[in-house]
């Protein structure tokens, strides 16, 4: 990775670097040190065996290791991840994960490893077979409800809870919001799916339940975002942008309330509107 250019040490957060930039404003040109979000290759290794390389923001990588491992079905329980070592190297970063011999990843054939890097915009890149992609999660057994007023309150505060995006303007956020609309935890990354994996991992590491609350994402709700939320036991997904058709189908099958185009003054509900309290309707979603 290229070395960061000089910038005030207290001005940068992990995952942000300084780069010289020519700025044109009001007909005048100046040279400034701009704040840029990092995007580096992160190699995932399980008991020394390489599995995949993801493009990610190098922050909260222990959370990423756990969340990715669980959402991809590589471990069944958080306790099966015995340790994570973050090893910086010239090409990027390697995550050396020690897992229990009972973890599903230990019984995968070599061909199951992803052959292509997972780019920051793709949560499925490198999957070799259709069944690797279409891993349908079981329906949620007792999905939670959530007050509409609390969602609106959370949307009002999401922007100021994204420090990396405030500095660099190029990261996505995944936030866990309690029933009062309070944002309890936020993780950011250049990849929307990485941010959600980091959030799920952080919640497991901090023993936070995913049952009573919702996940608020600053991106679109694509298939892998709903899939990762379902595997994490998150019953309500609210996205600032649009969902895809496949994400809607998955949300309906998994019992997830899916909200898109979420704004303080309005939103769309694509699946299971009965989970939103204060959003009563007699019109079914067929």
- Write the CATH number for 225: 3.40.140.10
Distance CA 140, CA 28 (A): 57
What is the pLDDT at residue 122? 57
Residue 283: HSE in the Cβ half-sphere, 13 Å Cα cutoff: 3
pLDDT at residue 109, rounded to an integer: 79
pLDDT at 154: 96
In this structure, the answer to whether residues 188 and 113 fall within a common structural domain is: no
| pLDDT at residue number 108 | 85
Distance between CA atoms of 274 and 271, rounded to whole angstroms?
A: 9
Three-class DSSP category at 239: strand
- Low-confidence stretches of the chain (pLDDT beneath 70): 1-11, 111-136, 280-286
- What is the structure's pLDDT at 121? 55
**Model's pTM, two decimal places?**
0.87
**Residue 9 falls inside a structural domain:** no
Q: Give the model's pLDDT for residue 12.
A: 76
Q: Is 189 found in the same domain as 119?
A: no
DSSP 178: -
The verdict on 115 and 208 lying in the same domain is: no
- Residue 55 and residue 91 in contact, taking contact as beta carbons nearer than 8 Å: no
Q: Tell me the sheet residues that pair with 84.
A: 97
Residues with catalytic annotation? 122
Burial letters 261-278, b for 16+ CB under 10 A, else e: bbeeeebebbbbbebbee
Q: What is the pLDDT of residue 6?
A: 44
Residue ranges making up the domain that contains 271: 146-277
Dihedral sign for Cα atoms in the order 193, 46, 115, 38:
positive
pLDDT of residue 9: 43
**Are 186 and 207 found together in one domain?**
yes
**248 lies in the same domain as 164:** yes
Q: What is the distance between the alpha carbons of residues 38 and 209, in angstroms, rounded to a whole number?
A: 30
């Amino acid at each position: 990775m290229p070395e960061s250019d000089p910038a005030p040490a207290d001005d940068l957060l992990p995952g942000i670097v300084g780069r010289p930039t020519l700025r044109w404003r009001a007909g005048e040109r100046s040279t400034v040190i701009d704040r840029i979000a990092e995007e580096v290759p992160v190699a995932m290794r399980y008991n020394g065996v390489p599995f995949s390389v993801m493009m990610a923001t190098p922050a909260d990588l222990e959370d990423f290791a756990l969340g990715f491992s669980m959402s991809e079905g590589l471990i069944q329980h958080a306790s099966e991840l015995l340790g994570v070592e973050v090893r910086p190297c010239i090409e990027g970063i390697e995550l050396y994960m020690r897992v229990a011999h009972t973890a599903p990843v230990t019984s995968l054939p070599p061909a199951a490893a992803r052959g292509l890097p997972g780019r920051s915009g793709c949560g499925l890149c490198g999957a070799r077979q259709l069944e690797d992609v279409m891993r349908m999660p079981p329906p949620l057994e007792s999905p939670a409800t959530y007050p509409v007023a609390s969602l609106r309150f959370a949307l009002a505060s999401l922007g100021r809870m994204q420090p990396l995006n405030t500095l660099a303007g190029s990261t996505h956020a995944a936030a866990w919001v309690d029933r009062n609309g309070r944002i309890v935890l936020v993780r950011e990354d250049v990849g929307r799916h990485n941010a959600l994996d980091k959030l799920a991992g952080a919640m497991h590491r901090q023993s936070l339940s995913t049952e009573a609350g919702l996940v608020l994402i600053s991106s679109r709700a694509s298939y892998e975002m709903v899939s990762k939320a379902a595997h994490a036991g998150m019953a309500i997904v609210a996205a600032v942008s649009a969902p895809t058709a496949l994400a809607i189908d998955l949300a309906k099958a998994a019992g997830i309330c899916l909200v898109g185009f979420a704004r303080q003054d309005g939103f769309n509900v694509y699946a299971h509107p009965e989970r939103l309290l204060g959003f009563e309707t007699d019109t079914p979603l067929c």
